[in-house]
Every structure is written in C-alpha cells, then in structure tokens.
Amino acid sequence: MVYSQTITVFSGISAHSAGIINFMRVAVAVPPITDFYFSPPRNSAIGAATVVRALQLAGHKADLFNFMHIGRKTHTVPLPEKISYLSEILTKNEYGLTAFFSDYKRIGPDPIICAEKLVAANPDAIWISCFAFAYSDDAIVLADAIRKIDNSIAITIGGGGPSALPAYFLRNDSIDAVCIGEVEAGIENLFAQASRSNDFFTAENSMLFIPVVMPPHRGTIRISLSLTRGCPKHCAFCSNFITQGRKFRQTPFQKVQEEIIRIAQDPLAASHSVHFAFEDDNILLDTEYFYAVLNCIQRIFPGATFSAENGLDYLLLTEKVIDRLIDFGITQFNLSVGSTNSGTLTTQCRVHDYKKLKKILSYIHTKKIKIILYFICGLSEDTPESIVDSLLTLSKLPVEVGISPFYAVPGLSGFEKTDLFLNNPAYLCKGSSLFPWNKSLTSRQLMTAFRLARLVNLCRHPAQDKELLNTCFQSENIFTRVREKSLKKLVPAEACDTSMIHRFFQNYT
C-alpha cells in the first residue's frame, strides 16, 4: 500500500523526539498480524519499502524489519473478544474445499520478540507501517511492546490504517506521531508537525517506485510492484480514494525501466524464473503505458510471467487487449464485478455491463486461461436470497468464484462517523470477522455464502474431491472435512443458514 495526503499529526510529542529531523537511524517495522489467514505472496510490504527508500534519500539510515516475513511461522492465538460470536459458527479442526477457518493465528513472532529486535538495532526512531485499518490493533500492540522495553525511542506510525482514522492511534500513549500521507513530499517532516492538506498528492515525477523482490519459491522469484496510484471512479464500497485520491497517476516510465534493469543485475533473479505481481487497483486506465512496461519486462526478462493481484476492470478489456496481455505472459485473469445484481451496482455507483462481461469471459475461456471473478457479499442492498442467486448465476459462467465479505473502512459512504470505529476494535474491519456492517446478512449467512462459493468452485473441479462433492449434493447440505485425532472424516458444516442452503440446491443446475 502507498500512503496518501501528506499529514503528520502529533499527540503530545515527547522530549525525546525533539530535533530528530537531523540524521537519524530509523527502523521501519511491518508488525506481525492476527487473522484466520494471510496469503504469503501478498506479504511484500511495498509501502514500508517505500518509506525506507524515502528516508535513505533524505540522508537517514533506514532498515526494514518485515516481521511477517522474518517469522514465517504462524501461532494459534485466542479469538478476540469482540468476534467471539464466530465461535458459535466455526467448525473445529476443519479443512478442505468447503471449509472456512478454525483457528485464529498470529502471522509472525510474538510482538515482544519483535520489539526486542527493533530496540537491539539501537535506532533513534521507529516507524511502524500499518497497511490497512483492519490491522491497526496489531500495530498498536507492537508500539506498546516497544515502550515496555525502551521509553526513549520516538515511535511514528503511518500507512493506510492511520490515513483512514488518525485519532484511533493518537489516543495511544505509546505512539508519538501519526503520519498520514504519501511519503515523498513530506519526508523532512516525518517526525515534525506538518500542516494538513486534504487534496495534496505526490506529483508523478516525484513518485518513488520500489519493486519488492520476494524470496524464491518453487524455482520462481516473485516481484511485487505498483506502477500507479489513484482511481477516478466512485464505487461506494471502495476505499482507494482515502489513501490515494481520485486522480490516476503513473510512475514515469524511465523510473520503471531503471528499476527493472537494476533487478536484472541481481544474481538471484538471473538464476530463477521471474513473475511480476502488479498490485495496482486500476492498471488498465492507460493500456499503452502498461504495454510499454510489460514490453520492457519481456525485453529484460524473456519469458517472465505476470498477474494483476488487485484485479482488472473488465469494462476496459477487449479481445485485442486480452490477446496482448496473454502475449505478455499473464497467468490468470482476476476480475471484479462487485455484484451480479444491476440494481445493487447502480446504487453502489459501480458502472457495469453484464452483457459485455459474459462476452469477455467467453473469449478468455477459449484461451484456456484461469479466470477468478470476485464479488462482494454483504452490501447494503444484499439479501440472503440475492446472494444465493448471485452464486447460481456465477456457477454458470466459466470462472472460479472469489467471494469477499464486505468490511467497513472509516470514510466509506455510510461510514463517515468516526465514533463507530473509535468505540470498536479495528479488527472488526477484517473481512474474515464476518461482521454484519450493513445488517443485510448475519454473520451466519455470510459464512454460509462463503462455503457455497467454495462449493461452486468444487463443482467446476470435481476431481479435486469427488467424495465431498457427491456427499453435499446427495444430502443437499454442505459437508466439510475435519480432523479428529488420527481420523479424517466428512461432517455437516456447523451453523449454516438452512434457507440459503435449500435455495441453492433446489435451483442449482
């Protein structure tokens, strides 16, 4: 995630941080997080890497501590109190192709161990990166752990979470400063009070471009990168504008080319297959620019592959564009529809064209390339019946279904009041918390929809677990696999919404 709106806000800045705009040793920390899951390929921390580069360019010594990467092991932790409602609908020890999750985990080391490593580096200041508001509590826990060891180090927190609601962090005594904003323009003010600018975003020629090279996995180097910022669209469910604004901006091509050449000089990249994972939100807004970057990649890394991690706008796809992307090495098409209901999309200010979508999907399918079509479950207009109908519609398309439970972010339409978030833990904003933000579906119904989406995908790939698939359809119920001591067996998934299950099996064809 890249930061937005250059703002640095202080909450009773302490004496130890006075004068730290001089040369400093800064430790930039990506905290361990807690959740049911976290996808390792998404653990690139581009935002934190950008802060490191910005600090170095400003003359400081900066080192990155990505604790989700440093400590890859996960540890089971208790379910947080405010999402204890999930304990009533979780199936213990489940796994497999219709499963939800059983255990809440911490991805990375214990926060006190992280704090010890940071303090041992003897920094003048610590910058904690919080890439999403949902993980604000994890960032604050790390700040508290640092304070228990050393009360003299200045602690600043920045990123997507603080950009959404700085007051959530400013009330915490462990945090000296909350920095909200794109890091480039305000680097000299990162640790000193700056004025707020609601509409300021970094000019294109000043944007830093920091690709992150991930460790080899199965013979492939994954390079995460983001070329652009901002989106001019006004989809009501999207929070991109909060952190990146409405203006679409591109990294100058020359900068991109220089970084790709630099990566090619790394012996590790030269000895492995290379995959470029673009994390842009709307990369096709300028296809010619994207083609130029992809052409540069193929010239320097012949045979490299790529993916658009945050999805492509199907409205910007044509047969010609699809062919070009395939020629450049796209591995799968991640597409987002938001909803299959036209009325819902209109209310959510999402431009749509279902006829074009079907045509695009049909064409991609002829190319024998995987398609994942993402939709949001739990929008204000949704009902249990409409969600089942959406899944039935998607089951007839040549796609795998990606279901995203709706989660609120401070500043979204309908969620502008800060008290709602200041009086509740930020972890309710994780999609996996299945919190009924719009009260259109209950947590039980959101989980049922999640399982049905997985069942639809199993129907597309029956060989992956024929026994499970047959059991579900023969019983007209959702079964899941569980481990009990040394035994593995099929059992009915607990606490599903029976009316949704019935509607699905009665109408599935």
Residue whose entry in the numeric block shows the structure tokens 């992809």: 294
With beta carbons less than 8 A apart as the criterion, state whether 7 and 104 touch.
no
pLDDT in tens, 115-163: 999 999 999 999 999 999 999 999 999 999 999 999 999 999 999 999 8
Torsion, Cα 231 233 235 241, to 10 degrees, reads: 30
| Joined tokens for residue 341 | 């209901």
Give me the CATH topology for the region 1-73+108-200.
Answer: Rossmann fold (3.40.50)
105-107/212-213 β-pairing = unpaired
pLDDT in tens, 320-361: 999 999 999 999 999 999 999 999 999 999 999 999 999 999
Cβ count within 10 A of residue 206: 10
Q: What is the pTM assigned to this prediction? A: 0.92
Spatial strand order of the sheet with 33-35 comes to: 33-35, 105-107, 74-76
Rounded Cα gap, residues 427 and 136, in angstroms? 7
Read off φ and ψ for residue 487, nearest 5 degrees: -100, 145
Nearest in space to 158 (alpha carbons), one of 10, 329, 349? 10
Rounded Cα gap, residues 399 and 362, in angstroms? 10
Mean pLDDT computed over every residue of the chain? 90
User: Residue 189: which pLDDT band, with cuts at 50, 70 and 90?
Assistant: low
Rounded Cα gap, residues 253 and 293, in angstroms? 7
Determine the pLDDT at residue 38: 83
Burial class of residue 441 in the structure, from the number of CB atoms within 10 Å of its CB (0-12 exposed, 13-18 middle, 19+ buried): buried
Residue whose entry in the numeric block shows the structure tokens 């998607």: 394
Rounded Cα gap, residues 509 and 43, in angstroms? 39
Spatial strand order of the sheet with 479-484 comes to: 94-95, 479-484, 487-492
pLDDT in tens, 12-53: 333 334 344 578 899 999 999 999 988 776 788 999 999 999
Nearest in space to 275 (alpha carbons), one of 263, 287, 286, 290? 263
